[in-house]
Structure 1
Amino acid sequence: MPVPGHALVIGAGGVSSVAVHKMAMNPDIFGTVTLASRTLSKCDAIAASVKDRTGETVATHQIDADDVDATAALIDKVKPDLLVNLALPYQDLTLMEACLKTGVPYLDTANYEPKDTAKFEYSWQWDYQDRFRDAGLMALLGSGFDPGVTSVFASWLKKHHFDRIRTLDILDCNGGDHGQAFATNFNPEINIREVTAPARHYENGDWVETPALSHKQSFDFPEVGEKNMYMMYHEELESLVTHLPEIERARFWMTFGDAYLTHLEVLQNVGMTRIDPITYQGQEIVPLQFLKAVLPEPAGLGATTKGKTCIGDIATGTPKGGGDEITKYLFNVCDHEEAYRETGNQAVSYTTGVPAMIGAAMMLQGTWSGTGVFNMEQFDPDPFMDMLNKHGLPWEVRDLDDPLKF
């Protein structure tokens, strides 16, 4: 039996809250959990909730994750076995640098983004491959739901059902209602940057770019119902077509309600989604960052959010052993209210925080191991899929008559 490990979690939002609660619920894997963020009071609030719900103690620290030396000093002080980055994607590279400086493995849930450009790609982190390999360290990228579970879903389908996956569609539906006129269920700045960026999908060896939210179709989601979903770009497409090169077409779809899109259009039209700085009363501000400050905090939406999420993969291709093409739909349904009862957070945070915990468990227990920088689909999916069933994100696979048409 592996010795329980020590995870240092950076970041104190809703995803972090879920991950830390779930780590504390598994002390046989996570013997020690340390939580650090720029705002110590947020860490202390999570630690108090964990103590109340599980009886476990979580140590807390204040840290500026943009400061490599300060982060390295904290790592040297607390001596973790793994750094779990649940801060913002802007901080991925500084935290990877701190891990290299101190000899500690690294895990995150989202790829690096430069602050001044809404650009979503793995190139910056993949460039760390040689440095992590030469240091004998492992970095696991994108251990959330999408990316993360959706990538594992694809590799599980390939392992158990397909000789070759020809087309892959990832569908993300949040059927929850939080009762707010306009709010985002995860970090507003990241959410709006993603939604307003041009859509891209992979087809026949090339990336095809289209205007944001220009392609829509309806889909009947299990336990949620029929919703409009829109094609957009998401980073797991890049890693999946790299590591499953037989894929001819890969697309990502996300649902949005009419009210959300109307608010977003107005905010765009008045310049509130801009990410370039402007000068106001002698001070430089970024409109989108100001908007984030006035919108509801996603971590505070759990108490009022009702409904379910449904996220999964639709794959079409040649079945094991050959024959006519088949289509499989592999998905998870998560209930907002059940997630809140367990961890005090809504399902969007839950569906990302639980896979972060599972990815950390895979690394601490040595189930997934290696030196260098890895994406989720590069490892055996079975132990991860087993833990999803055991820790609150059960999945189901169904046969479909046809691939997703568009």
Structure 2
Amino acid sequence: MKDVLVIGAGGVSSVAVHKMAKNPDLFGKITLASRRQFKCDAIAKSVKERFGVDIATAQVDADDVDATAALIERVKPALLVNLALPYQDLTLMDACLKAGVHYLDTANYEPRDVAKFEYHWQWDYQQRFKDAGLMALLGSGFDPGVTSVFATYIKKHLLDRIDTLDILDCNGGDHGQHFATNFNPEINIREITAPARHWENGEWIETPALSKRQVFNFDQVGAKNMYLMYHEEIESLARHLPEIKRIRFWMTFGDQYLKHLEVLQNVGMTSIEPVLYEGREIVPLQFLKAVLPEPSTLGTTTKGKTNIGDIATGEKDGAQKTVYVYNICDHEDAFAETGNQAVSYTTGVPAMIGAALMLNGTWKGEGVFNMEQFDPDPFMDMLNQHGLPWQVKELPEPLKF
């Protein structure tokens, strides 16, 4: 068992810390830190009540490299798990290098002033982590994360060659709100309103946001509209599995959600450009985030299920084949176990699993790595053991979308 420092105190962090505490054979001392320590204390209280485990809490500004490095040196963890905002990835990586500790996150870096999320900023840390003898694992959430591991599992066990890969993310849950996001509203809305991009025949194909729609019948959820989007695992999969000719990402949205989003866009509330209001600059999207429901509070009312997975076409033993690997997660089951809804659960559990595999040396290396660079089998086994069981189906023919 080795000690771990978790940064961030939202829903994903709450799930990850609860699951770490539930598995004392995998984790030693757990320290949870955030800019607002009272949120860490609330999570620690829940962990104590549910599992009888004490976790330490601390206050830290994750934008401050020196302060974070000082906390690392005081806590002396074997691993820093970054479950804060993607804006803070680089400062936390810098702090890990300064203090000499391994690093893990669930989403790639995104500048505050540009709605653009790409891996190159973090990939540029490769030599620095390698020279320091440290490992950084990027994107150990669900998508990115589990969906990338699904792809390598398909390549290892189900197909000799993958020709096309479609990642389908369906949240069939209902939280009863007129408009709310199931994870950080600022990040969520920036992703949805950005132009869609997919990888095809060695180049990026860009289309307007939400302009490509298909209906898909999701197991235990039903028929849902899903929309073509850009998502960061496309970039890393295209780099590490170059045989794949086409990689796309689809996400479901309800009509009511899109109606509200369109109105908010039309009145400028999704903009990240500062505006002057009563003598001070504010960012409309950040103000919107402040008035929307906190995602971590939605668990009490959310019912339904998520269904997220990969559909791959390719060749097996000389024959064309289409396979579907996916997970179904129940919002109410997730809440009963950790006090959080399934969107947080499906990201927090893989963060815990990735951390465990790093700490026990199953996944190891020096430098910066994406999930698909490691053997998928131990991760897939732990998904089944820790609340995210997966299924495999062979589809009779390739999907038409």
Calculate the TM-score normalised by the size of structure 1: 0.98
- Note if 1:115 corresponds to 2:80: no
1:356 counterpart letter in structure 2? A
Q: Distance in 2 between matches of 1:401 and 1:204?
A: 25
Structure 2 gap ranges (5+): none
1:187 counterpart letter in structure 2? N
Structure 1 residue 297, shift from structure 2 partner: 0.2
Q: What residue in structure 1 maps to residue 371 of structure 2?
A: 376
Which of 323, 344, 348 aligns to 1:349? It is 344
Which of 379, 391, 396 aligns to 1:396? It is 391
1:300 counterpart letter in structure 2? T
Q: What residue in structure 2 maps to residue 220 of structure 1?
A: 217
Calculate the TM-score normalised by the size of structure 2: 1.00
Q: Distance in 1 between matches of 2:2 and 2:211?
A: 46
Q: Distance in 2 between matches of 1:376 and 1:5?
A: 21
For residues 15-47 of structure 1, what are the alpha-carbon distances to aligned partners after superposition, in whole Å with 9 as ceiling and x for unaligned? 000000000001011111000000010000000
How do 1:46-125 residues align onto structure 2 when only pairs under 5 Å count? Answer: 46-125=43-122
Q: Would you identify which runs of 4 or more consecutive aligned residues in structure 1 move more than 3 Å?
A: none
SS at match of 1:183: coil
For residues 196-248 of structure 1, what are the alpha-carbon distances to aligned partners after superposition, in whole Å with 9 as ceiling and x for unaligned? 00000000000000000000000000110100000000000000011000000
Q: Distance in 2 between matches of 1:393 and 1:136?
A: 32
Which of 218, 229, 232 aligns to 2:229? It is 232
1:215 counterpart letter in structure 2? K
1:127 counterpart letter in structure 2? D
Q: What residue in structure 2 maps to residue 323 of structure 1?
A: 318
For residues 257-284 of structure 1, what are the alpha-carbon distances to aligned partners after superposition, in whole Å with 9 as ceiling and x for unaligned? 0000000000000000000111100010
Structure 1 residue 163, shift from structure 2 partner: 1.3
Q: What residue in structure 1 maps to residue 355 of structure 2?
A: 360
- Note if 1:128 corresponds to 2:125: yes
Q: How many residues align?
A: 401
Q: Distance in 1 between matches of 2:89 and 2:47?
A: 26
Structure 1 gap ranges (5+): none
Q: Distance in 1 between matches of 2:284 and 2:217?
A: 36
2:205 counterpart letter in structure 1? V
CA contact (8 A) 1:72 1:99 kept: yes
Which of 295, 304, 309 aligns to 1:307? It is 304
CA contact (8 A) 1:169 1:404 kept: no
SS at match of 2:160: strand
Q: Distance in 2 between matches of 1:67 and 1:164?
A: 45
Q: What residue in structure 1 maps to residue 160 of structure 2?
A: 163
Structure 1 residue 120, shift from structure 2 partner: 1.4
For residues 321-349 of structure 1, what are the alpha-carbon distances to aligned partners after superposition, in whole Å with 9 as ceiling and x for unaligned? x3221000000000000000000000000
> Taking every aligned residue pair, what percent have the same amino acid on both sides?
78
Q: Distance in 2 between matches of 1:167 and 1:18?
A: 33
Q: Distance in 1 between matches of 2:160 and 2:304?
A: 36
Q: Distance in 1 between matches of 2:147 and 2:63?
A: 29
Structure 1 residue 171, shift from structure 2 partner: 0.1
SS at match of 2:308: strand
How do 1:234-273 residues align onto structure 2 when only pairs under 5 Å count? Answer: 234-273=231-270
Structure 1 residue 404, shift from structure 2 partner: 2.5
For residues 124-183 of structure 1, what are the alpha-carbon distances to aligned partners after superposition, in whole Å with 9 as ceiling and x for unaligned? 000000000010000000000000000000000000011110000000000000000000
Q: What residue in structure 2 maps to residue 387 of structure 1?
A: 382
1:382 counterpart letter in structure 2? D
2:333 counterpart letter in structure 1? E
